[in-house]
């Protein structure tokens, strides 16, 4: 049920779970909690219309970070309205820690987290038959090349409906136990010792209210979580249970992404069969390259993955058609219909093979004349100096301070990216499949190469999991240190970023938290 305002009686309910943020993690948590019989109130500062954060509410002063500007959305569904829906698992080494990488060990093990992978996939609509890489590759007729040199082929999975607001629309509107309050911002908390008893909200007309609850979950995104926690710590003095925690906002990370080499293909049939995207019953899988755990445990190298980018004379036209069809399917506002026909004309000779590849061969068509390049997504070290802070002298209309991001990169990224690229080249040559022409600055080890890489809108840290409040913000159950009933979900709790897109692991932690709060593993229909 969607609300635009809330009455005093509704606001005084002390038994519900209150979720702050109606984005990817917030809506997923709400749905799973409601399915287990809990009463849930979600508070979202945006509306049902896709919206952005006002430019006066943030600033970036370190390495250029585009994600703070265009990689997040203030709306029901949050950033899930903008992403492609790609799901990638973390590797065991990401949790185990590496001696040469400070603060890389997590308070939880890979096995503890992986125990919730299957349930999370199924909650997202990905059946058991599509959760195993080897089975999917075999069904698609792909022979694993077994590259050697520590390199392995793996698959990422893509949601059929990326937007949580669209995917959960029916449940959002039909459930009596789930209420979503839109266009209201949380600006503070009410405390009773270590317990949170309520949240302070500001509506679109400026009026303030206190909303009660039993359990509170912060799910409003990496930047907004740090902003709220820092703001409350600075304004509520000795009452704030986390007022002395100096880790809030620190250890910010993002993935570095960009082109590292062009690919000269030696065996087109094998190469395209190995790396073109697989489609099975409408489920999409993208083959990529990474280093295996054994190599990452023994080598001094950050965790990266490599992906193939296929470029042709009609690439932009094909992307346009894909975006148009996605917009049409999800009933978004369509503009530029005249451009559709121009793109159809440009792509006409590829439409039949595209349809054949998709329907008959269960593969996404790539023109044989495509130019191919290798792009990487790289982990970066967790550094306390890379941080989110606030400027209390600059406030928005709700009284919240401006967010300041100082994103830093370290000295390890360049050597790791060069090492990884050389390993890919060696693996390709050994398999007689292809070879690389590495970007000159990278091959020379020129630090300026890092400037050519951008962030990938995977904002990590600021409320990271710790062994204690001396080295973290939340415990292994995602509860904020110093509190009895305030939890944090999303990539802000990550201790390291690994090579993987962040959403799947973030949602796996939500699945785990839901079980912790309810004692129930299985989902039940509304």
**Do 63 and 204 sit in the same domain of this protein?**
yes
User: Is residue 444 predicted with pLDDT exceeding 80?
Assistant: yes
**Domain boundary residue among 291, 326, 360?**
360
What total of structural domains would you count in the chain? 2
**Do 499 and 355 sit in the same domain of this protein?**
no
Token output for 506 = 């973030």
Distance CA 215, CA 291 (A): 40
Residue 121 belongs to some domain of the structure:
no
User: Is residue 525 predicted with pLDDT exceeding 80?
Assistant: no
Cα-based distances in Å from 105 to 93, 172, 252, 462, 497: 9, 38, 16, 17, 12
Residue 401 belongs to some domain of the structure:
no
Question: For the ranges 115-119, 407-411, 518-522, which has the lowest average pLDDT?
Answer: 518-522
- Which residues, 6+ apart, have CB-to-CB distance to 335 below 8 Å? none
Nearest to 408 by CA among 177, 291, 249, 238: 249
Residue 25 belongs to some domain of the structure:
yes
**Domain boundary residue among 337, 360, 383?**
360
User: Is residue 360 predicted with pLDDT exceeding 70?
Assistant: no
CATH of the domain at 225: 3.50.50.60
Q: Which residues of 281-370 form beta strands (DSSP E)?
A: 283-291, 304-311
**Do 188 and 49 sit in the same domain of this protein?**
yes
Q: Are 248 and 469 in contact (CB under 8 A)?
A: no
Mean pLDDT of 255-268: 96
Question: Which residue's entry shows tokens 């997040």?
Answer: 72
Residue 438 belongs to some domain of the structure:
no
pLDDT at 12: 77
pLDDT digits (tens, 9 = 90+) for 263-319: 999 999 999 999 999 998 889 999 999 999 999 999 999 999 999 998 765 554 555
Residue 284 belongs to some domain of the structure:
no
pLDDT at 350: 52
Residue 445 belongs to some domain of the structure:
no
**Do 46 and 186 sit in the same domain of this protein?**
yes
Mean pLDDT of 87-115: 96
Token output for 159 = 């949601």
Cα-based distances in Å from 301 to 298, 414, 416: 9, 10, 5
pLDDT digits (tens, 9 = 90+) for 54-84: 999 999 999 999 999 988 989 999 999 888 8
Residue 505 belongs to some domain of the structure:
yes
pTM as predicted: 0.91
For the chain, give the number of residues.
Answer: 526
Nearest to 400 by CA among 243, 247, 240, 206: 206
Give the confidence band of 14 by pLDDT, cuts at 50, 70, 90.
confident
Task: Tell me the CB-side half-sphere exposure of residue 212, using CA atoms within 13 A.
Answer: 10
pLDDT at 328: 44
Distance CA 368, CA 253 (A): 37
pLDDT digits (tens, 9 = 90+) for 306-351: 999 987 655 545 554 554 455 444 544 444 555 556 555 555 555 5
Residue 76 belongs to some domain of the structure:
yes
Would strands 215-218 and 486-488 be described as parallel, antiparallel, or unpaired? parallel
Domain that holds residue 210: 1-88+161-253+460-526
Q: Are 94 and 498 in contact (CB under 8 A)?
A: yes
Give the confidence band of 220 by pLDDT, cuts at 50, 70, 90.
very high
């Amino acid at each position: 049920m969607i609300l635009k305002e809330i009455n005093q009686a509704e606001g005084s309910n002390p038994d519900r779970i209150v979720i702050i943020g109606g984005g990817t993690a917030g809506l997923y948590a709400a749905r799973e909690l409601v399915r287990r019989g809990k009463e849930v109130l979600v508070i979202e500062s945006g509306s049902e219309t896709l919206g952005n954060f006002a430019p006066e509410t943030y600033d970036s002063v370190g390495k250029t970070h585009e994600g703070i500007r265009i990689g997040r959305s203030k709306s029901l569904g949050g950033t899930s309205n903008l992403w492609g829906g790609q799901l990638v698992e973390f590797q065991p080494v990401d949790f185990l820690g590496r001696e040469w990488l400070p603060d890389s060990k997590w308070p939880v093990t890979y096995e503890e987290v992986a125990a919730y992978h299957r349930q999370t996939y199924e909650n997202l609509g990905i059946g058991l038959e599509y959760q195993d890489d080897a089975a999917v590759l075999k069904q698609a007729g792909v022979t694993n090349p077994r590259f050697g040199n520590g390199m392995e082929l793996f698959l990422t999975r893509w949601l059929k409906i990326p937007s949580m607001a669209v995917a959960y629309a029916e449940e959002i509107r039909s459930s009596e136990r789930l209420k979503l309050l839109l266009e209201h911002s949380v600006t503070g908390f009410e405390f009773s010792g270590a317990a949170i008893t309520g949240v302070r909200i500001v509506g679109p007309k400026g009026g303030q209210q206190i909303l009660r609850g039993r359990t509170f979950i912060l799910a409003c995104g990496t930047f907004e979580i740090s902003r709220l926690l820092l703001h409350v710590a600075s304004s509520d003095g000795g009452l704030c249970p986390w007022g002395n925690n100096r880790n809030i906002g620190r250890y910010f990370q993002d993935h570095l992404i960009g082109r590292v080499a062009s690919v000269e293909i030696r065996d087109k049939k094998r190469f395209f069969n190995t790396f073109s995207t697989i489609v099975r019953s409408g489920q999409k899988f993208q083959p990529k390259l990474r280093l295996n755990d054994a190599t990452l445990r023994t080598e001094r190298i950050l965790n990266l993955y490599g992906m193939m980018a296929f470029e042709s004379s009609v690439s932009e036209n094909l992307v346009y058609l894909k975006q148009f069809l996605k917009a049409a399917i999800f009933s978004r506002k369509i503009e530029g219909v005249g451009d559709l026909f121009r793109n159809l004309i440009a792509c006409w000779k590829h439409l039949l093979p595209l349809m054949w590849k998709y329907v008959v061969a269960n593969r996404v068509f790539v023109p044989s004349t495509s130019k191919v390049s290798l792009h990487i997504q790289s982990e970066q070290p967790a550094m306390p100096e890379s941080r989110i802070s606030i400027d209390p002298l600059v406030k928005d209309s709700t009284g919240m301070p401006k967010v300041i991001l100082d994103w830093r990169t370290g000295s390890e990224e360049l050597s790791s990216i060069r090492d990884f690229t050389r390993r890919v080249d060696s693996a390709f040559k050994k398999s007689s499949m292809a070879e690389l022409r590495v970007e000159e600055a990278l091959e020379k080890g020129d630090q300026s190469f890092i400037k050519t890489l951008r962030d990938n809108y995977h904002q990590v840290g600021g409320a990271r999991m710790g062994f204690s409040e001396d080295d973290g913000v939340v415990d292994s159950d995602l509860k904020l240190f110093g509190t009895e009933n305030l939890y944090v979900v999303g990539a802000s709790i990550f201790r390291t970023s690994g090579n993987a897109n962040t959403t799947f692991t973030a949602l796996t932690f939500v699945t785990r938290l839901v079980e912790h709060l309810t004692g129930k593993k299985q989902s039940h229909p509304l």
